[in-house]
Amino acid sequence: MDQHSYQIPTNYNRNIPPGKNTTVYIGVNVNRVSGVDENKEEITLDVFLQVSWAENRLHMPSGMPFIDLPWEFRQLIWTPDLYIWQLQTMRIMSVLQEMASLRLYSNGTVSVSIGATITIKCEMDFVLYPLDVQNCAIDFGSYKYTSEDVRFEWREVAPWLGLGLLGVQRREFRLPKYVVTFATDKSEHSAARLQIKLSRELRSYLLESYLPSSLFVIISWGSFCVIPEIVPGRMVLLVTTLLSLVTMFDTVSTNSPDALELKCIEVWLISCTMFVFIALLEYFVVLFGIRYDKSWSRRRQDLRRAASAAQLAPPPLHVNHSQRLGTPVTGTPQGGVFSPTLSVEDEGLKQQFEHQTIQRLSQSGKRNWRQNKVGCETRSQTVSKVK
């Protein structure tokens, strides 16, 4: 039978499903993951989609396993109002003609196969970036019929493998930055669900961010081995590592996707920056301590000198000026020179002056005696060694 000579029964109504609780089988084969847009939270896939259901109102002559119908024939029969909830855009692929087919099997099964490029919206959370794992779902359902009228289920085996598309269905794709895994969800849902799991390749992040930042922190700790007095060398080492970490943080924040909170890699870089800043702050404390110690040593030396000078200085004389003013001064001229003599009232002042003079002489004599004793002992030891 020619595909153009197939006739639809006259009592066929395309607006009514084939029966109560019609089961629609969904099969998806992901051919390629074209891209992942983190800013728009979108995933672009090249897929082969097959939708099949039982249509008992359509019959074929015996002896023919199936017949391929024109693609426009789908407008003459009932087709499920398939709706992909997370779908953003969909474009049917084409080479010489569109990659879409409509096939009717001898058992009354209608199969629609489409090769398309679809863009899926996926809600992503980047708080754990780059250690995050994104789980996205693609739900195939109906926007008009309830689950009592039409049910959507997954097929265990991809139906297009029997159409000459030989090969093994891929479940995992490795991209430069992602590992994309697909799995069908067999739990109870109102729609057929395909789970997509996005996990990142951590090798590039380890080499580009985590390893350099760790080395910067270790280098900053190496500044503790530099002598504190070498200010330029230690300051250049700490300031350079600090600025490098700040620049790395700015680059990572600019190139990474946005998140409502600080991302994991940002927390790591902030921690590394704080470690280097603490090392720099510790050096400031050390410099302040060195300067304070030098100032305090200089002050102690000045205090010791002042104390030594105070001990060597003669004590002041306590003179009663009122008595001096009232004491008459007498004297006799000797050789044309007047020689004053103290009266009896100045005898106490004279004795005080003589007593202080004797004390100074005794202290000076004791120091000279000690110095002479030390010199004699030194000379005697030298003579003993010579003998």
In whole angstroms, give the CA distance from residue 108 to residue 334: 163
Q: Which sequence spans correspond to the domains of the chain? A: 22-201, 204-306
DSSP at 57: T
Of 40, 43, 35, 31, nearest to 120 (Cα)?
Answer: 43
The residue ranking higher by pLDDT, 353 or 235, is 235
If one compares 295 and 236, the residue with the highest pLDDT of the two is: 236
Residue 206 is classified by DSSP as I
User: What superfamily does domain 22-201 belong to in CATH?
Assistant: Neurotransmitter-gated ion-channel ligand-binding domain (2.70.170.10)
The pair phi, psi for residue 370, each rounded to 5°, is -65, -45
User: How crowded is residue 342: how many other Cβ atoms within 10 Å of its Cβ?
Assistant: 13
Average confidence (pLDDT) over 366-384? 59
Q: What is the mean pLDDT of residues 157-182?
A: 66
CA distance 289 to 309: 30
The reported pTM is 0.65
C-beta contacts of 344-349 below 8 A and 24+ residues apart = 349/319, 349/320
Q: Report pLDDT digits (tens) over 264-305.
A: 999 999 999 999 999 999 988 888 888 877 777 777 777 777
Whole-number pLDDT of residue 164 = 42
- Predicted local confidence at residue 84, as pLDDT: 92
Q: What is the mean pLDDT of the segment spanning 222-230?
A: 83
Q: What is the pLDDT of residue 244?
A: 94
The average confidence (pLDDT) of the chain is 80
Are the C-beta atoms of 272 and 210 separated by less than 8 Å? no
pLDDT over 90 (residue 95) = no
Question: What letter would DSSP give residue 145?
Answer: S
pLDDT digits (tens, 9 = 90+) for 25-40: 998 888 899 999 999 9
pLDDT score recorded for residue 333: 52
CATH number belonging to domain 204-306: 1.20.58.390
**Overall size of the chain counted in residues:** 387
Q: Which range is least confidently modeled, 19-23, 43-47, 82-86, 112-116?
A: 19-23
Rounded CA separation 173/350 (Å)? 115
Mind listing the pLDDT tens digit for each residue in 270-281?
999 999 999 999
Q: Name which residue leads in pLDDT, 236 or 332.
A: 236
Nearest to 82 by CA among 22, 139, 159, 20: 139
Percent of the chain scoring above 90 in pLDDT: 34
Dist CA 373 CA 379 (whole Å): 10
